[in-house]
Amino acid sequence: MAKSQYRFCVGPWNFSEGGDPYGPTTRSAQTFDWKLAALKKLGFDAMMFHDDDAVPDIDSKSAAQVLKEAKELKKRLDGEGIAAEMVAPRLWFAPQTVDGGYTSNSKKDRQYAIDRSKQTIDIARVLGTDLIVLWLAREGTYVRESKSGARSTELLVQALDAMLAHDKKARLCIEPKPNEPMDHAYIPSIGHALAIASLTLDPKRVGALIESAHAILAGFDPADEIDFAMSFGKLWSLHLNDQNGLKFDQDKPFGSANLRVAFNQIRALERNGYGKKGEYVCFDVHPFRTTREEHFLKHLDNSKKTFLRLVEKARTYPVKQADALIADRNYQDLDQLVIEHLLGK
Ligand code: XUL
Ligand code: MN
């Protein structure tokens, strides 16, 4: 398998239990310690956290208690040699976030979202990471006329500015997604994420996270999203997974739906040197609902395996042959060259 510069990461939510809107869970919930041990066993290096993954029942606890529990978590992670990659405020669960967090039509609820985001930065500091991920889950609408796009852009910038001012070292990493749970989201692509960064008080500290499935849901090739973000030096994290077309967010194992699209993501990471500045490769994948308990970790192990196999494929790609075909505008045979290479011929 390819020797690579890559380090791997996963979140506690990626050990999910199989529940969906149409049926209950199919596997029993595992403890945090079980997940931590599993992650080590699989050769992962870091864990990503929502604020309430790091400190459960966060809204019922005082600020001092939250920081105390974050410190305890940091000790546990240090004991296992696992880093915290990022912390993300979960702004889509609490009653205050029904109409969105930063773009809610309620001033009081917008304040809740900003306060919770500042607290997320405090937790991240304790856990030893400067990376704050913002998946803007409900920053959009079900009924387009219920909010103004211009006003929402202004509110998003205000929220980003409040976070940037709260901690001069924090880096904000926007994870775009075009829909789900919303009909339409306000920051649906990497272009939107990088553009809104330029309106903030410190654009250098606002970057992006690309998730393969989210890019596919927007109708984009995730490899192009990677190349674009990395041309700006702004790809600070990555959620690799797969998605079979325009459906619900499937979070399939990496490469599961379209190996060639996965291969091109790896090529984009390789040509731009992803990981060389310490960025992690995270798999935002879930087990299929049918997965038995004894196969609980397969989706993680398999995603990593596929990733490393594709790194090898990217590094052994017949570049000279490809370049000759490109010079001859023989894209017909270039297409076949890629297919043969992936098939192992
Ligand atoms: C949702 C999603 C989230 C973020 C973290 O689609 O991908 O799990 O990655 O909040
Ligand atoms: Mn994600």
For the domain that residue 102 is a member of, what is the CATH number?
Answer: 3.20.20.150
Consecutive H or E run containing 211: strand 206-211
Q: What pLDDT does 345 receive?
A: 65
Let me know if residue 332 belongs to a domain: no
Distance from residue 55's CA to the centre of ligand 2 (Å)? 20
pLDDT value for 15:
98
- On the question of a cis peptide bond just before residue 181, with omega within 30 degrees of 0, the verdict is yes
Using CA positions, which residue lies closest to atom 6 of ligand 1? 249
| Domain range enclosing 311 | 3-317
Ligand 1 atom nearest the C-alpha of 180 is: 6
Amino acid 5: pLDDT: 84
Give the pair of three-digit tokens for residue 86.
């990022």
| Total domain count, the chain | 1
**Burial of 62 from C-beta contacts in 10 A (0-12 / 13-18 / 19+):** exposed
Is residue 301 one of the residues assigned to a domain? Answer: yes
Q: Is 322 part of a structural domain of the chain?
A: no
CA dist 143 and 147 (Å) reads 8
Per-residue pLDDT 10s for the chain (345 aa) are 445 689 999 999 999 999 999 999 999 999 999 999 999 999 999 999 999 999 999 999 999 999 999 999 999 999 999 999 999 999 999 999 999 999 999 999 999 999 999 999 999 999 999 999 999 999 999 999 999 999 999 999 999 999 999 999 999 999 999 999 999 999 999 999 999 999 999 999 999 999 999 999 999 999 999 999 999 999 999 999 999 999 999 999 999 999 999 999 999 999 999 999 999 999 999 999 999 999 999 999 999 999 999 999 999 999 999 999 999 999 999 999 999 999 996
Residue 75 counted as domain residue: yes
Give the closest residue (by CA) to ligand 1 atom 3.
135
The Cα 314–Cα 300 span in angstroms is 21
Q: Which residues line ligand 1 (CB under 6 A)?
A: 50, 88, 133, 135, 175, 177, 211, 239, 249, 284
Position 126, amino acid: V
Give the model's pLDDT for residue 1: 46
- 341 domain-assigned: no
Q: Are 283 and 239 in contact (CB under 8 A)?
A: yes
Q: Sign of the C-alpha dihedral, residues 303, 288, 47, 114?
A: positive
Q: What is the DSSP letter of 119?
A: H
Q: Give the torsion through C-alpha atoms of 56, 57, 60, 66, to 10 deg.
A: 10
